[in-house]
Structure 1
Amino acid sequence: MKTPRRLPQQLSGRPFTVAEAAHAGVSKGRLRHRSLRPLGRGIRGQGTTAALTLGARVRPFVEVNEQCAASHATAAELHGLPTRKRGLGEDEVFHVIRPEGAAHLKRPHVVVHRAKLLPGETMLVGGIPVTSPARTWLDLAERITLDELVAVGDACVRIPYPELEGREEPHCTVGDLRDIVARHRGKRGIRKARLALALIRVGSDSPQETALRLALLRAGLPEPVLNARIVGKRGQHGPKPDIGYPEYGVGVEYEGEHHGTEPQIVRDIARSESYDDVGWAEVRISKRHMANEGKAAVAKVRTALFLRGWRPGQASTRASTPSSTAP
């Protein structure tokens, strides 16, 4: 078989629809050449796609079918929300949603969901129709655990860092999540979504911080504040604990894997000195403390609180001590 003609640059190295190819002037014969992989009816691609962005990989699978939008785990990944790690061979499996009543769709590489879609529950992300963050969160209630759903909700309502993320507003608000739950009574996973809604908080910066907070609350420890700046008695600014107990002067820091790098070690030492300066106790938690439902983490935090005057069953006094933190 003779060497195939080179594809137009805009199609090279990525999956594309047959309609795109025709518009770009690619012949039917070229589309039948064995150098192109059929990825389902109406879609072709060259080689593997794992190195491409998710948007480039999923785009043709959404565009080839009318009324489709990326959804569930695929939408979460496109929004930058926490997702489970993809398993072996899952790089080319995508979730899409179609309105209920639309014709059944079955094609390779795609998990198709048919459900009620209301106005405002889809949006464009990089030009691709995707379920909104709030709708994505609600759809994930069908497929993930309660704690994972809380972590996704925390990520939805988290105030971003503009200098790092290029956005100033959260993906959505707690009110948005509450509204979408109210609009979809009887939907699969709705009970779990209601339970998660009661546990979602603004201020958690990672799924690990969410998991730690939930473990502490379930152990009966006080409700903390999240990532709020400490202000000392002399007005000096201290650190921003991942989890803070202002009424007891205890800050809890979750140490991710990056904390083993030399620059981060220097920053962590400076942070510990800052805790000393404002008279707070620092509790450092790592992944190993979170095994066995976080029992070791709970024990460390409980001990620190106990040494600072907290007792089980003691009512929080945080509302009477607002000067201990600053946003």
Structure 2
Amino acid sequence: MREKDHDLPAPFRGSHARSAGALTSHQLRIRHRRLFPDVYCDASLNTEPELLVRAAGLWAPAGGIIAGSAAGLLHRERWFSPEEVTRAVDIYVPGTPRPTPGVRLRRLRSPLPAAQLSRFEGLIATSPARTAIDMARWEDDDDTAIAKIDAVCNRTGTSVRDVAALAARLRGVNGLPRVRTLLRSCDGRADSPPETRLRLLLCRSDLPDPTPQLEIRNEFGAKIAVADLGYEREKVAIFYDSELHRRREIWEFDAWANAELDEIGWQNLRITAPMMRSPATLLRKVGAALERGRI
């Protein structure tokens, strides 16, 4: 008769399951998948990113703290963390424990204060602000680092000001001067990395800086749309249309919003990924729309 494997937590320590008599070594080997040394899950489970993070946290030595993109995943950052943790889970550790494939150990010189920590059902991870700083300083590309800070702030409701305040207080952390500089270009209102990159493109040009997540209402005060970026004075609304906008229900709403915006005198610019690959052309289109709005 087969044991009730589903009563075991996922993931779980194989040694604990054997010592408790819940599984034999044979059952552990044929019915479960080894994720990290002595850490297993049911073989029928998909190896989802959050499962990997929780398994790595279970494997981690005493004092280990989930960090970087792994902490970002626990904080529900959705753009970068899911893919990055499949390559490696970042964990702060005291001392110099033996590494294992799939985990990237980060040496912790001194304990992190409680204000820089968050708890998730038995796991300890870095706080949103510390997570944003770490994800940025461990990222080589500046614009991607800015997008990562934006993404963490957007998903957690943490202000860029709070991240900057923590960055100003930290000492002895590699990469902090660069992160402090990058924070000047961050805006947690960005709802996606393409929106961040589009905002950076406009702000670095000769055009005026746009307002992120600009709410547009009609003459009766009813909300029509929230532009990803917008210029209220010139009545120019800019939207980044990802593949998600090909879904019928979203496409139909976009068509309705376009008609409503046109009716109240707003110009509506829909930006796609191919357009982002021609920044000069894109800037000309936005500049022309602003010029028309001033007439």
In structure 1, the residue matched to 2:244 is: 258
User: 2:208 is paired with a residue of what secondary structure?
Assistant: coil
- Matched with 1:93 is 88
- Partner Cα distance (2:87, 2:149) in 1: 26
Which of 16, 24, 43 is 2:12 aligned to? 16
* Alignment match, 2:178: 192
**Is the aligned partner of 1:231 residue 2:217?**
yes
Which runs of structure 2 are paired with 1:33-48 in the superposition (5 Å)? 33=29, 36-47=32-43
2:288 pairs with 303, 310, 318, which one?
303
Check 1:35–1:103 CA distance in 2 against 1; reply closer, same or farther (3 A cut).
same
3-state DSSP class of the match of 2:83?
Answer: coil
1:213 matched to 2:199? yes
Per the alignment, residue 154 of structure 1 pairs with: 150
Aligned-partner SS, 1:134: helix
For 2:88, the aligned partner's letter is: V
Change (3 A) 1:219 1:282: same
Residue equivalent to 2:135: 140
Contact 1:16 1:45 in 2 (8 A): yes
What one-letter code is carried by the residue in structure 2 that aligns with 1:308?
G
User: In structure 1, what residue type is equivalent to 2:113?
Assistant: L
Deviation of residue 205 (structure 1)? 1.3
For the residue of structure 1 that corresponds to 2:268, the secondary structure is strand
Distance 1:184 1:55 in 2: 29
Distance 1:273 1:16, change over 3 A: same
| CA deviation map 1:202-234 (0-9, x unaligned) | 422111111111111111221211222223456
CA contact (8 A) 1:72 1:140 kept: yes
Number of equivalenced pairs: 290
Compared CA separation, residues 122 and 24, structure 1 to 2 (3 A)? farther
Q: Which residue of 1 aligns with 2:257?
A: 271
Q: Aligned in 2, Cα 1:85/1:32: closer, same or farther, shift over 3 Å?
A: closer
Quote how far apart the aligned CAs of 1:126 are.
Answer: 4.0
Pair 28,107 (structure 1): closer, same or farther in 2 beyond 3 Å: farther
Q: Structure 2 CA distance, aligned partners of 1:48 and 1:138?
A: 36
Between Structure 1 and Structure 2, the one with more strand by share is: 2
| 1:178-212 alpha-carbon deviations (Å, 9 max, x no partner) | 12202223422212211221112242211111111
For 1:118, the aligned partner's letter is P
Distance 1:84 1:299 in 2: 34
Query: Residue 113 of structure 1 corresponds to which residue in structure 2?
Result: 106
**Are 2:35 and 2:52, in contact at CA under 8 Å, matched by a contact in 1?**
no
Equivalent position amino acid for 2:98 in 1: L
* Secondary structure in 1 matching 2:262: helix
Report the TM-score, using the length of structure 1 for normalisation: 0.77
Q: What is the CA–CA distance in structure 1 between the aligned matches of 2:98 and 2:36, rounded to whole Å?
A: 12
Quote the offset at 1:111 in angstroms.
0.9
* TM-superposed deviation, 1:84: 6.3
Unaligned runs of 5+ in 1: 161-169, 311-327
1:174 matched residue in structure 2? 160
Look up the equivalent residue of 1:103 and give its one-letter code.
Answer: T
Change in Cα spacing, 1:107 to 1:236, as seen in structure 2 (3 Å) is closer
Q: Secondary structure at the match of 1:279?
A: coil
State the TM-score, normalized to the length of structure 2. Answer: 0.85
Per the alignment, do residues 177 and 210 of structure 1 end up closer, same or farther by CA in structure 2, a change over 3 Å counting?
same
Compare the two structures and name the one with the higher helix fraction: 2
Q: Which amino acid aligns with 1:106?
A: P
How far apart in 1 are the matches of 2:238 and 2:67?
35
Does structure 1 retain, via aligned residues, the 8 Å contact 2:151–2:190? yes
